[in-house]
Each structure stands twice: as C-alpha cells, then as structure tokens.
Amino acid sequence: MRFNTLRGMRDILPQEIHLWQYIEEKVRKIFEIYNFKEIRPPILEAAELFLRSIGEDTDIVEKEMYIFHDKKGRTVALRPEATASVVRAYIEHRLFNNPPPQRFYYIGPMFRYERPQKGRFRQFHQAGVEVFGIAEPLIEAELLYMVKRLFEDMNIRDLTYEINSIGCLNCRAEFKQLLLDYLENKVLKLCSDCQRRFQRNPLRVLDCKVESCKNSLSDAPLILDFLCDECEAHFEEFKTLLKEFDIDFIINPKIVRGLDYYTKTVFEITTPSLGAQSAVVAGGRYDNLVESFGGPKTPAVGFAIGMERLIEIFKDFSFIKPKYPTVYVAYATEELRKDAINLARFFRDSEISAEAVYENTSLKSQLRKADRFNAYWVIIVGPEEMKRSSYRWKNMRNGLEGEATLEEIVKLIKK
C-alpha cells in the first residue's frame, strides 16, 4: 500500500534542508545577539490554553485548531501558535521571579487546519520571540529594528513595515459599539466569514482580505480615533522611535490581528511577492495575558516569523550550498575495500565529513558515485601507495591532484 503526505503537510527533503539550516542559523544568531534565550515548549497542550488566550470567537479556534481527546479523555490541541505556550511556561516555572526583561525565542512547527496555498501549510514553522517585563514602546521599536537587521543581513528587500494600535480594553469598548452600528447596515454585503464575525468579533472584520469586504469597509471607523490618552501617547512615542531607528513604516489602521490577547501596538511586515498571504512577520503587545493566566501583572510583547514564507522569498539565493560529503574514499582493488571504509572512519574521527563504498564495485564506478555525491575531495586507497603510507587525492572542484600522507591530506582539506 502506498502512502502520501496529508494535504497541507510536506516533507522538507535533504536537498532543501540546507536552506532551512542557513536561515535558522541566521535567526538564532540575531536573536542571541539581543540576549534572547531559546525555549522549547511542547507541541501538544491543553486546548483550554489556546481557547482562553486566542479567543473562542477567532477563526483559529472556530475553524483551524487541531483539537482532540487523549486516552484519558482530556481535551488537547496541537499548538496553533507559540505565545500562549511560552506564557504558560513563564508562569508555571515562575520565571517572573527573575529580573526583567525576560527574553525568549523559539523555532518550531505549528498546526492550523487552513486551506493550503502559497506560503501556507497545515503544519508550518515559526521563529518568534517574547519579551516580558517592559511596558515602554522602546521594546517594540527595538524588536522591529532587530528584524530589520536580520532581513538586511539576508539581503531581503521589498518589505513594508505596517503598524497600528488597537488600544486597551477601555478605549476599545466605545469603538467596538460604533463599529457594530456601522456594520449593521453592511453585513449582507460581507463575506460569510465576516457575517459570522459581525456580532462575536467585529474587529476581525476590518482585517478581512476578501476584496468585496475591503470595498464595503472603505469608510469604516478607525480605532486610532478612539485611543485613550495613555494608548495614544504610547503609539506616538513608538512612531518617534521608529524614525530614530531609521525604519520606514506606514500606519495601517486595518491591522487588528486575529488573536484576542493583543493590546496597544500591533504590526506586520509584508511583501508583495507572496500574494494575498503577504505577511512574513506579525506580532504586537499583550499586556494582559500573563495576568489572565494567573501570573503577576506583566507587560509583554512578541512576534513570529513565518519560516515557509521567509523561505519562499529567499529561495532564489543560489549562493547557499548544501553540505555534501567533503571526502569520498575509493579503493583500487577489492582487497582494499575495508581499508577504504576504515579510512573514512579516520576522516570522521578527524571531524571531516566522509563517505565510502560498502559494496564491491570498480574504481570507475566509485568515481562516478563520488561525482553524484558532489564530493569535494576523492581519496584513493591503492596497493602501491599503501606500501608508501600515502594516498592519491583529487580536488573535484579545481581538478588538482597529488599524493600525500594522511596527516598532509587532513591539513590540505582543513585548509
């Protein structure tokens, strides 16, 4: 019986994993420069964790979460995002007792039952950060500057930094009622998802990507007009800091994010090369989430990078090469096959990647296989050379070849 991957899932094969590894190394480096420490929360959590944090009236919870009962009847879920898990770990392990700021980063798979399309899968990967203990807008500006540095280092251009403020619970109440009054006369013109969101989560209507909804909402009221003094001052300072950090941005009052825990600052970094799913980075501030989970009142902010989307806009950079075996050990006669295998082990013990032929085959066939492996060096074990304690070598990139002792070959390869 033949099996295939499930719809929306994919294999990341050896011929492309080098690109993932390259980007992950870049991400880890920049995060750790900014003193973020890696955290690895579990993929499986109690479903209630996400129901309470993300919001039961969000698309993620209503349509996209993988929820099921385990063998003890507990309701569990594959994580659709990582912020809730990091907050849970922050409280469970009493990390709030450490001096602020507490900075964490993660890289790993998330799961949402969405319609697969360009840059979107049902198992997808995110790299993200969470910062606890800083209320000042300086941290939001610093996070965007950190991402800007990452993208510039990877030579990724054509990005737009979009920002908004969705205020706090106090200033959102008046706006929400005004938005409901506005939508009441337009609800029949909206898509089926927005008709469902209308009463339960009206702010999400503003973020709809359906063109007909965008047109119907062109003159909708804006949350920026209803910010309280504190939220307005926070947003103004955030904008000033972005200018000081030389980050060009646009204010997009339609960004509300699809998660209920956000407060004040929200942002997205978008690119036109991904079509409708244009956001590569998304995040914002969530000052109430730790307290709502039973922890102390703690300001917090974070973002996530969609790794598949980052790969999509980075994949044409051909200078990143796969990590092929550095050395391919061949033998001239069958009697020397074990010597070749032992020599491969010697190179590995010397921290040099090596491959050898395990079956009995001709030298010509071995050299063809070395070429298919894209080996950089070929070392040939021959009877006459063995008597002299030396080996023939060939550089498969420039065609140079010669004979040398093992110590000389190791130095040559490492050089």
Q: How far are the Cα atoms of 222, 290, 343, 388 from residue 339, in angstroms, in the given order?
A: 75, 62, 6, 15
Helix axis angle for 138-153 and 14-33, nearest 10°, is: 140
Q: What is the mean pLDDT of the chain?
A: 90
Distance CA 378, CA 362 (A): 15
Compute φ and ψ for 225, nearest 5 degrees.
-80, -5
Fold of 14-168+230-314: BirA Bifunctional Protein; domain 2 (3.30.930)
Q: Where are the beta strands (DSSP E) in 22-173?
A: 37-38, 44-46, 67-69, 75-78, 102-111, 123-132, 160-165
Q: What is the mean pLDDT of residues 402-410?
A: 93
Query: What is the average pLDDT across 199-205?
Result: 75
DSSP β-bridge partners for residue 192: none
Residues 212, 363: Cα–Cα separation, whole Å = 67
* Local confidence band at 174 (pLDDT 50, 70, 90 cut-offs): confident
Q: Average of pLDDT values for 213-241?
A: 90
Fold of 327-414: Rossmann fold (3.40.50)
**pLDDT given for residue 56 in this prediction:** 63
Q: What is the rounded average pLDDT of the residues 76-101?
A: 96
d(CA 89, CA 81): 14
Residue 318, pLDDT score? 64
Average pLDDT value for residue range 117-126:
85
Percent of the chain scoring above 70 in pLDDT: 95
Q: Under a CB-based contact definition with an 8 Å cutoff, are residues 395 and 328 in contact?
A: no
pLDDT of residue 184: 79
Asked whether residue 381 carries a pLDDT value surpassing 70, the answer given is yes
Q: Longest C-alpha distance within the chain, in Å? A: 93
Cα of 95 vs its chain's centroid, Å? 24
Buried b (16+ CB within 10 A) or exposed e, 207-219: bbeeeebeebbee
Lowest-confidence segment of 222-226, 247-251, 295-299 by average pLDDT: 222-226
- Return the minimum-mean-pLDDT range out of 9-23, 42-56, 91-105, 212-226: 212-226
**Higher pLDDT pick, 318 / 45:** 45
Would you call 308 exposed, middle or buried from its count of C-beta atoms within 10 A (0-12, 13-18, 19+)?
A: buried
Q: Which amino acid is it at 372?
A: R
Domain borders along the chain are: 14-168+230-314, 170-227, 327-414
**391-395 β-sheet, strand order:** 354-356, 327-331, 377-381, 391-395, 401-404
CA pair distance 56, 201, nearest whole angstrom: 10
- Report yes or no: 247 and 267 within 8 Å, Cβ to Cβ: no
For 142, the token pair is: 């610093």
- Give the span between the Cα atoms of 322 and 374, in whole angstroms: 10
Question: Among the listed ranges 99-108, 214-223, 259-268, 393-402, which one has the minimum average pLDDT value?
Answer: 214-223
The answer to whether 63 and 193 are in contact (CB under 8 A) is no
Helical ranges in 154-224 per DSSP H: 169-184, 192-200, 211-216
Q: Please give the Cα distance from 172 to 168 (Å, whole number).
A: 6
Residue 213 pLDDT greater than 90, yes or no: no
What pLDDT, on a 0 to 100 scale, did the predictor assign at position 315? 66
On the question of pLDDT at 127 being above 90, the answer is: yes
pLDDT at 280: 94
Q: What is the pLDDT of residue 258?
A: 60
What is the percent of the chain where pLDDT is above 90?
65
Whether the predicted model's global pTM rises above the 0.75 cut: yes
Lowest-pLDDT range of 25-39, 236-250, 276-290, 297-311: 276-290
Query: What would the pLDDT profile of 304-362 be if each residue is shown by its tens digit?
Result: 999 999 998 886 666 777 777 789 999 999 999 999 999 999 999 999 999 998 999 99
Cα 298 to Cα 287: distance, rounded to the nearest angstrom = 6
**Does the pLDDT at position 164 exceed 90?**
yes
Radius of gyration of the chain (CA): 28
